[in-house]
């Protein structure tokens, strides 16, 4: 990437953002305050990927910023006031303006202690990487690049403004952010930065689970998450934030045969990403994380057999439990945790299909058990084929094509409603002449089993089956 190319892209991006930057620059200058577009938006402008979220840094204190935004912003909010940040919206633009600051962790803190700074250069010096330590002073649009960020951007390199040890001491989450930017931007991480990440990996443990989680989500949803994940493993950071991943690098025994589970997992993740158009396109964290975690039960279930083979019986069930435990530790929502754990637990179900021996009842149960994760399960199951045997891979693909076709055919023949009994709870109570209670639930589950075994039934047939079931129970 040439610096002239960077400059041309920046000029084009600035033309688009001028309605915001020009007016803010004039307002703050008239009040005797400095303001500059800073950090990610400057970097993204130079990369030709500027979004509608804009970050500014200013000499003004939050109360002054709030006053200067009145009459210009469509709406303002101060949820970040404790960190010196005032947010606002102007048309389609989301703006955050933060007072010059410095922040650092002490040895036992989980949150940064924020102090206001007094200069733009001082503010840039405290930022994570040189490519994020550039600013455009307003209203004159003067590039401020005291740490060589534009050269690093052109050479696709991640360095820190000061020493990486100082940067990571100030905020240990920056070590994960290095991996995330490598994954998002395809940048190489400077050797001294990698060395500091390795030496200081344990320092990540003082960062809150929520911040680690958010950074992990961004990494997994990046353009090339495998690049970032490898860096986490190689530096030892993964041992503290996602220990199940490096645990997949099982020791190899020359007398026993099994795939390299770690490399297999990263390949499954890449293949899952290639299939995301089935899910509507765009990064799908649930599908990607399920691909990353689908085999985490293997280290605990590995058994060597006398014939030289290796088994991992029930690694799907064990893996689901480990996945749930890890996601709970990282404070993921219950719904997201349930979805990923369900996919991990069900990722082997397809292999019972053989070459199409399942009955329609078994296919219905496959759909019922997958629930709203069916499309993601399709993606995970297909991505989980990493064999180099082209004939075997083609056979598996055709077999899964057949299963999906059967699912579609049954859905068309039986209606696309969710798999439910042919009678609801009120109808059950009316037909049996009973009130709410345990028997209604048992009858409902019986009718659901009939629905799965035989497909839809006419209401009269379902009522007759219900009476027969009730009579056998003495109801």
Residue ranges covered by each domain of the chain: 1-151, 156-242, 246-414, 425-472
- For the domain spanning 246-414, the CATH number is 1.10.3210
Q: What are the backbone dihedrals phi and psi of residue 162, each rounded to the nearest 5 degrees, phi first? A: -105, -150
Dihedral of alpha carbons 262, 266, 272, 274, sign? negative
Q: Is the pLDDT of residue 429 over 60?
A: yes
* High-pLDDT (> 90) share of the chain, %: 62
Looking at CATH, the fold of the domain delimited by 156-242 is given as Hydrophobic Seed Protein (1.10.110)
The average pLDDT across 294-309 equals 88
| pLDDT one-digit tens code per residue, 37-56 | 999 999 998 888 888 999 99
Query: Residue 188 has what pLDDT?
Result: 97
Query: Which residues, 6+ apart, have CB-to-CB distance to 27 below 8 Å?
Result: 68, 72
Q: Could you please state the CATH topology (level 3) that the domain comprising 1-151 is classified under.
A: Beta Polymerase; domain 2 (3.30.460)
Amino acid 261: pLDDT? 92
Contacts of 329-337 spanning 24+ positions with Cβ under 8 A = 329/209, 330/209, 330/212, 330/213, 330/216, 330/241, 331/209, 331/210, 331/213, 332/213, 336/285, 336/286
Which of 120-134, 359-373, 451-465 is the most confident on average? 120-134
Give the mean pLDDT of 335-343. Answer: 97
Phi first, then psi, for residue 303 (nearest 5°) are: -135, 135
Higher pLDDT, 184 or 307: 184
- Residue 35's alpha-carbon distances to 20, 23, 200, in angstroms, are 12, 11, 34
Mean pLDDT of 427-441: 83
> What is the average pLDDT across 81-102?
92
Of residues 69 and 472, more confidently modeled? 69
Tell me, what's the pLDDT at 252? 56
* Band (107; pLDDT cuts 50, 70, 90): low
Q: Do domains 1-151 and 246-414 have the same CATH topology?
A: no
The whole-chain average pLDDT of the chain stands at: 89
pLDDT at 272 over 50: yes
> Bigger pLDDT: 102 or 401?
401
pLDDT value for 106: 58
Range in 19-23, 125-129, 339-343, 456-460 with the lowest mean pLDDT = 456-460
Local confidence band at 1 (pLDDT 50, 70, 90 cut-offs): low
Q: What is the pLDDT of residue 3?
A: 61
Band of residue 411 on the pLDDT scale cut at 50, 70, 90 = confident
Helix, strand, coil percentages for the chain (3-state, nearest 5): 60, 10, 30
């Amino acid at each position: 990437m040439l610096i002239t190319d960077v400059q041309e892209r920046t000029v084009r991006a600035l033309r688009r953002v001028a309605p915001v930057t020009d007016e803010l620059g004039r307002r703050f200058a008239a009040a005797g305050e400095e303001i500059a577009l800073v950090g990610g938006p400057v970097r993204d402008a130079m990369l030709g990927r500027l979004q509608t979220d804009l970050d500014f840094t200013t000499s003004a204190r939050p109360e002054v910023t709030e006053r200067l935004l009145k009459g210009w912003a469509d709406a303002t909010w101060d949820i970040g006031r404790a960190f010196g940040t005032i947010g606002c919206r102007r048309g389609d633009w989301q703006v955050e303006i933060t007072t010059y600051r410095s922040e650092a962790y002490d040895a036992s803190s989980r949150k940064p202690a924020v102090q206001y700074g007094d200069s733009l250069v001082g503010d840039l010096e405290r930022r994570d990487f040189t490519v994020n330590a550039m600013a455009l002073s307003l209203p004159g649009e003067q590039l401020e690049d005291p740490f060589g960020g534009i050269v690093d951007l052109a050479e696709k390199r991640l360095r820190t403004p000061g020493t990486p040890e100082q940067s990571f001491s100030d905020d240990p989450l920056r070590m994960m952010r290095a991996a995330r930017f490598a994954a998002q931007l395809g940048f190489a991480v400077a050797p001294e930065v990698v060395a500091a990440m390795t030496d200081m990996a344990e320092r990540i443990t003082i960062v809150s689970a929520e911040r680690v989680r958010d950074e992990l989500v961004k990494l997994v949803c990046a353009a090339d998450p495998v690049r970032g994940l490898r860096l986490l493993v190689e530096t030892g950071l993964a041992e503290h934030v996602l220990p199940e991943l490096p645990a997949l690098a099982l020791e190899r025994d020359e007398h026993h045969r099994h795939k390299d589970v770690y490399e297999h997992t990263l390949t499954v993740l890449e293949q899952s990403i290639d299939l995301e158009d089935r899910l509507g396109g765009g990064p799908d964290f649930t599908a990607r994380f399920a691909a990353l975690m689908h085999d985490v039960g293997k280290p605990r279930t590995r058994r060597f057999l006398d014939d030289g083979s290796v088994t991992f019986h029930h690694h799907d069930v064990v893996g689901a439990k480990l996945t749930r435990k890890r996601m709970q530790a990282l404070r993921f929502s219950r719904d997201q945790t349930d979805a990923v754990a369900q996919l991990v637990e069900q990722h082997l179900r397809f292999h019972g299909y053989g070459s199409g021996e399942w009955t329609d009842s078994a296919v219905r149960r496959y759909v019922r058990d997958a629930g709203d994760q069916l499309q993601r399960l399709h993606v995970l199951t297909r991505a989980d084929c990493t064999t180099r045997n082209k004939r075997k891979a083609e056979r598996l693909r055709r077999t899964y094509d057949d299963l999906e076709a059967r699912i579609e055919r049954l859905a068309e023949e039986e209606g696309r409603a969710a798999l439910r009994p042919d009678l609801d709870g009120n109808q059950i109570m009316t037909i049996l002449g009973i009130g709410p209670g345990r028997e209604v639930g048992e009858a409902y589950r019986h009718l659901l089993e009939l629905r799965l075994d035989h497909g839809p039934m006419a209401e009269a047939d379902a009522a007759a089956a219900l009476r027969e079931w009730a009579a056998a129970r003495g109801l």
